[in-house]
Amino acid sequence: MERKAHELAWQECIEIIRDNVNPQSFKTWFEPIKPMKLSNKILTIQVPSQFFYEWLEEHYVQILHKTLKKVIGPNAKLEYSVIVENATSQHSEPFTINLPTGNSSKPVNNELGMPINMDSPIKNPFIIPGLRRMNIDSQLNPRYTFDNFVEGECNKLARNAGLAIAQKPGGTAFNPLMIFGGCGLGKTHLAHAIGNLIKQQHKQKVVVFVSAEKFINQFIDSARQGNNNQFVNFYQYLDVLIVDDVQFFSKKERTQEVFFQIFNHLHQNGKQIILTCDRAPKDLKNMDERLLSRFKWGLSADLSTPDFDTRVSILENKMYQDGITLHKDVVEYLAHNIDTNVRELEGALISLLAQGSLTRKHLDLNLAKQTVKNFVKNSTREISIDYIQKLVCDFYNIPVEAVKSKTRKREIVQARQIAMYFTKDLTKASLKNIGIFFGGRDHSTVIHACQTVNDLIETDKKFRQDVEEIEKRIKINTF
């Protein structure tokens, strides 16, 4: 079948444009265009949406203008036929608006001389009227901020990277930022916190948080309704894209393909991408290798289980926010026994407060022990080394770092030896691991410490009383 004049002209234009833009941009912004007619040196092309039209006018108007002049002649003009869905009907037929090209990203009048309403509803994944930047809801939870995200050794790298990104989104080496770790360790909280700080410091930035599950469902809906281009356009329009739980993209080949396209466009244009995952990128299965390689481009930051001190800080922070005061023994008991993740830790605190309120019981250690039984299978489980270190150092009023240091001060050496003694007696840690926990010492140091403590218990009354008191505190706060 013989090709028509408008198709031949546009094909010639396309060949020129293809040589002057990168392949990904060409695929995204020029392949979806359809030539409609050519009359009096005016070429009419159809584009999928008003947003698509805006983007072409803002980023590619010069190349379009020069290409048309070369192919059609010096007086060539371009008109757009923009598909706009009728918001009152889900299956409405599209209608077209012809727009002459200009130097502004804002449309001018249509054929009838009437102003075009840029706020007419355009479907997007979050069902938001219009695609004005100010109208796009970030989907961020304002309660998740850096102020209530407690820093510890378990999250320091990810937290500091997040703060750097918030200062200069898209302008750091941390793009993408992949935050990974087990359930309930604060991945989602941190991702929201980064987004909220970006919104606060860069009000003009368009930030969107979306779970991988919601992204998949949006993509399926757009495919069913024939709106794939509009779906892609929406996400490529963003300045900051935050996707939660990307492990759910596993085995979703078509979703991975479209996300790969969006990822590439954002990254190439200096936009920020933040991802969370329940495992390291290298451990993701059934994922496109091209996508996996891009996940590894920036920084992959691990969130590990918080240590004892961090768990205490998390509880204290939560208590401060809620205006609650608990005895130190209660807080430390919760922090010691709930050591799996932050979510369970905060859940135990809430449960304790509810128990006290409903039963009108005093929020003491006994009530805490009753509450903890609902969160752990056996509250008389193994004691952690960091907890023993903390109790011994609290007893002698010295910092935990001191017993891990190289100092030979008598009071520090004594505290270190007692902590080693209880660690060997009350945990399953090997002599080698105990030495590592106490500043990288060898197993012979641990053996010597335990022997010294045993000797002093038999010969030094004051020392024996100290050891008995420390043992009593360990057992009261644990069993």
449 contacts 417 by C-beta, under 8 angstroms: yes
| Separation of alpha carbons 171 and 205, rounded Å | 13
Per-residue pLDDT reduced to its tens digit, 380-402: 445 788 888 888 998 899 998 88
Distances (CA, A) of 289 to 49, 248, 251, 284: 32, 16, 12, 10
Contact (Cβ atoms closer than 8 angstroms) between residue 256 and residue 247 = no
Position 375 scores a pLDDT of 61
Distance CA 122, CA 55 (A): 15
What's the CA gap between 49 and 473, in Å, rounded? 69
Q: pLDDT tens per residue, the chain (479 residues)? A: 456 888 899 999 999 888 888 777 788 788 889 898 888 888 888 887 766 777 787 778 888 888 888 898 888 888 888 765 443 333 333 334 444 444 333 333 333 232 333 333 334 455 433 444 446 788 899 989 998 888 888 888 899 999 999 999 988 888 899 999 888 888 999 999 999 999 999 988 999 999 999 999 888 888 888 778 888 888 988 999 999 999 999 888 889 999 999 999 999 888 999 999 988 888 888 888 888 888 888 888 888 888 778 888 888 877 777 777 777 777 777 777 777 777 777 777 777 777 766 667 677 777 777 777 666 544 444 578 888 888 899 889 999 888 899 888 889 999 999 999 998 888 878 888 898 889 889 889 999 999 999 989 888 888 998 998 888 777 665 54
Please give the Cα distance from 303 to 134 (Å, whole number). Answer: 33
Q: Buried b / exposed e across 53-71, counting CB within 10 Å, b at 16+?
A: bbbbbeebbebbeebbeeb
DSSP β-ladder status, 240-244 and 207-211: parallel
Q: Residues 337-358: pLDDT tens digits?
A: 777 777 777 777 777 777 766 6
How far apart are alpha carbons 375 and 379 in whole angstroms? 9
pTM here? Answer: 0.53
DSSP secondary structure of 242-283: EEE-GGGGTT-HHHHHHHHHHHHHHHHTT-EEEEEESS-GGG
Distance from C-alpha of 178 to C-alpha of 244, rounded to nearest angstrom: 10
pLDDT of residue 477: 56
The domains located in the chain, with CATH, are 5-117 (3.30.300.180), 156-303 (3.40.50.300), 308-372 (1.10.8.60), 385-478 (1.10.1750.10)
CB contact at 8 A, 298 and 157: no
